[in-house]
Amino acid sequence: MEICVKFLKYLTGDSNQRTLEEIGLFTVKRGIEDMYMDNPNMKRIEESLSYTHYIPLMDNWKEIDYILHEEIIKALLGEKPSYEAIEDAKIKIDNLNK
């Protein structure tokens, strides 16, 4: 186990993480100061990541996502008040999980 820990520390060391950056890969380690300063393409991608949305790891996420979008659209089109759309989405999602 000790060897595994040493190996992982080696892999995630700053110099190895910089090597990953040099070949165009994102690193697993955050907080290395000015990591992408000299690479404008990587810097732009890094900045755009704050606008991304991660898809939750749930078996029925597609169904939940569909329900949410359906109810949001109804609220935006004025077909129902927003509080009702939220409550309807909650009920439909709860029924999925039964």
Same domain, 6 and 47: yes
26-51 confidence digits (pLDDT tens): 666 666 656 666 777 777 777 777 78
Query: What's the domain count of the chain?
Result: 2
pLDDT at residue 28 in the model: 65
Q: What share of the chain is helix, strand, coil (3-state, %, to 5)?
A: 65, 0, 35
Flag whether 74 is in a domain: yes
Question: Three-state DSSP class for 21?
Answer: helix
Same domain, 7 and 39: yes
Mention every residue, 6+ apart, whose C-beta is less than 8 A from residue 78: none
pLDDT band at 22 (very low <50, low <70, confident <90, very high): confident
Same domain, 46 and 66: no
Same domain, 66 and 44: no
Same domain, 15 and 37: yes
Degrees, nearest 5: CA angle 11-12-15? 85
pLDDT band at 86 (very low <50, low <70, confident <90, very high): very high
Domain with 91, as residue range(s), is 61-96
